[in-house]
Structure 1
Amino acid sequence: MTETGCGTTATRGPTGAPERHGTIGTQRAGEPPTPAGRPDTAESEGQEAAALLRESRASVDPELRSAIATLPPTMSRVALYHFGWQHADGTPAEGNAGKAIRPALVLTAAAALGGAAARQSAVRAAAAVELIHNFTLLHDDVMDRDTTRRHRPTAWTVFGDADAILTGDAVQALGMRLLATDPHPASAAAAVRLADCVMELCEGQHTDTAMERRAPHEVTLDETLAMAEAKTGALLGCACALGGLYAGAAEEDVEALDAFGRQAGLAFQLIDDVIGIWGDPRHTGKPAGADLAVRKKSLPVVAALTSGTPAAAELAALYAAPYDEEKEDLERTALAVERAGGRDWAQAQAADRMARAMQELARAVPDPEAAGGLLALAEFVTRRTT
Structure 2
Amino acid sequence: MTTLERLDPADSPPSGTTDGTGATTSGDAMNRVLAQRALGWSRDQVEPALRAAVGKLPLATQRITNYHFGWEDEDGTPTRADGGKALRPALALLASQAVGGTTAAAVPAAVAVELVHNFSLLHDDVMDCDTTRRHRATAWTVFGLGPAILAGDALLSLAFDVLVSSGEPAADDGAKVLGQAVQELVEGQLADAHFEIRNDVTLSECLRMAQLKTGALLGCSTALGAMFGGGRSEQVDHLRLFGEDLGLAYQYVDDLLGIWGDPRVTGKPVHSDLRRRKKSLPVIAALTSGTAAGQELAALYQGSRDLTDAELVRAAGLIDEAGAKAQSQAQADALLTAALGELRSASGAVGAADDLERLARWATRRDR
User: What's the TM-score, normalizing by structure 2?
Assistant: 0.91
Contact 2:100 2:349 in 1 (8 A): no
5+ long unaligned stretches in structure 2 = 1-24
Report the counterpart of residue 188 of structure 1 in structure 2: 172
**Residue type of the alignment partner of 1:242:** L
Aligned-pair identity (%): 50
RMSD: 1.5
1:378 is the counterpart of 2:366: no
1:309 to 264, 278, 291: 291
CA contact (8 A) 2:98 2:350 kept: no
Structure 1 residue 368, shift from structure 2 partner: 4.6
Query: How many angstroms apart in 1 are the aligned matches of 2:302 and 2:43?
Result: 43
Q: Distance in 2 between matches of 1:259 and 1:322?
A: 40
Q: Distance in 2 between matches of 1:327 and 1:310?
A: 21
8 Å CA contact 2:259, 2:316 repeated in 1: yes
Cα displacement (A) at 1:367: 5.9
**TM-superposed deviation, 1:382:** 0.8
* Equivalent-residue separation in structure 1 for 2:109 and 2:279 (angstroms): 33
Structure 1 distance, partners of 2:152, 2:140, is: 11
**TM (normalized to structure 1)?**
0.87
CA distance in 2, matches of 1:178, 1:111: 20
Partner Cα distance (1:353, 1:257) in 2: 14
Q: Residue 99 of structure 2 contacts residue 235 of structure 2 at CA under 8 Å; is this kept in 1?
A: no
Q: What is the distance in 2 between the residues matched to 1:242 and 1:297?
A: 31
**Corresponding residue of 1:105:** 91
In 2, the alpha carbon distance for the partners of 1:306 and 1:288 equals 24
* Cα pair distance change 1:327/1:229, threshold 3 Å: closer
Post-superposition Cα deviations, 1:39-59, rounded to whole Å, max 9, x if no partner, equal 974333222211111111011
Name which of 312, 332, 347 aligns with 1:350: 332
Relative contact order: is structure 1 or structure 2 higher (C-alpha 8 Å, sep ≥ 6)? 1
Number of equivalenced pairs: 344
Within a 5 Å distance, the mapping from 1:211-250 to structure 2 comes to 211-215=195-199, 218-250=200-232
Are residue 57 (structure 1) and residue 57 (structure 2) matched?
no
Equivalent residue for 1:175?
159
Give the deviation of 1:322 after TM superposition. Answer: 2.7
* 8 A contact 2:98–2:348 mirrored in 1: no
Q: Distance in 1 between matches of 2:293 and 2:331?
A: 20
Task: Give the structure 1 partner of residue 257 of structure 2.
Answer: 275
Gaps of 5+ in 1: 1-38
Question: Does residue 204 of the first structure (1) align with residue 188 of the second (2)?
Answer: yes
Deviations 1:140-161 (A, max 9, x none): 1111111110000100011111
Match of 1:145 among 129, 138, 141: 129
Shift of the alpha carbon at 1:165? 0.5
Runs (4+) of structure 1 moved beyond 3 Å?
325-328, 366-370
Q: 2:240 aligns with which of 240, 243, 258?
A: 258
CA drift of 1:250 comes to 1.3
1:383 partner SS: coil
1:318 paired residue among 292, 297, 300 = 300
Q: Distance in 1 between matches of 2:87 and 2:311?
A: 35
Q: Is the 8 A contact 2:282 2:319 kept in 1?
A: yes
Asked whether 1:72 is paired with 2:54, we answer: no
